Amino acid sequence: MPQTGKKLEHLERTAREHPEYREILSLFQGLFAHIEGREDATGVSFTLPDAHGPERVSGGLPLLSPESVSLDRGRVAAFLSGILDVMRAVSRDAAGVEELDKIGAALADGSLDLKPLFTACLRRDRGHLEEAAKAVSVRPALLAFILEIPLKTALERVAESIDPATMMGWKEGYCPVCGSRAGMDELVGEEGKRHLCCSACFFRWPFRRLGCPYCGNQDPETLSYFLAGDGPTRVGVCRKCSRYIKTRDSRKGNADVPLEAEDLATIHLDLLAGKEGFERGK
């Protein structure tokens, strides 16, 4: 069942309770409002392996490969055009609007070859994205952000269809469904068992309580966390690789809030982690 409505509801509540967040969250509120009810209209789809899925997972390979993505270009272009409209509406930067217009024009005239770009996003191949962005004179980060919206929406729909029990043997710090990095983690149940949450498809899987999902460090002397305020989310840091991950303790609240929304509503924790010299896990 799509979680977009719950994400939007949490961001709206956060913006009401914390007016200082309104400007930052307005973009994502607009994007979720556009996505809600259109989760199956992205034009992006994936083919799940019918025979060798368990073998891939047992061998440490994600269920989906970059080659499993399929596109309906017309539907993708229409979905992306709506995303561009949302971003234009909230932008206060004339140069940024000009870049959005360039991407829209490239979509309209077919000069953006979308299939390789989506594959590049799945492979985390920044080189190809940079070349495509240069060709239309826009920032690579902007192009990647826009493309990842329908991609993540489609990936989340796939992840929702997968029984978590089939992934119980997965021990890696990257996602068993799409291979993306963990974006957040969560402590659940009375015992506070740890689950990682994918940054792309938002699938969740069990993970050892002590350990960095990015470098594998399990040394308690170099693993710690810090809090900011009385909310349920804190920041776990690894002093070996200088990366961090945000952790929600669902026993303290927000258990029904999708972690993507929790992540967006706790941007202050990202700022604090950055000031302490830590970067988001990759």
pLDDT digits (tens, 9 = 90+) for 153-208: 999 999 999 988 888 889 899 999 999 999 999 999 989 999 999 999 999 999 99
Tell me the C-alpha distance between 147 and 113, whole Å: 12
Q: From its phi and psi, is residue 163 left (phi > 0), alpha (psi between -120 and 50) or beta?
A: beta
CATH architecture of 167-280: Alpha-Beta Complex (3.90)
Q: How confident is the model at residue 65 (pLDDT cuts 50, 70, 90)?
A: confident
Q: Give the start-to-end residue ranges of the domains of the chain.
A: 38-160, 167-280
Cα 153–182–91 angle (5° rounding)?
50
Average pLDDT over residues 113-132: 93
What's the pTM value of the predicted model, to 2 decimals? 0.93
Can you tell me whether residue 247 is helix, strand or coil?
strand
Cα 223–199–85 angle (5° rounding)?
140
Residue 113 to residues 116, 117, 152, 269: CA-CA distances in angstroms?
6, 7, 18, 37
Tell me the C-alpha distance between 45 and 224, whole Å: 39
Tell me the C-alpha distance between 243 and 281, whole Å: 5
Instruction: Please say whether the beta carbons of 161 and 138 come within 8 A.
Output: no
Q: Which of 116-125, 149-158, 223-232 has the highest mean pLDDT?
A: 149-158
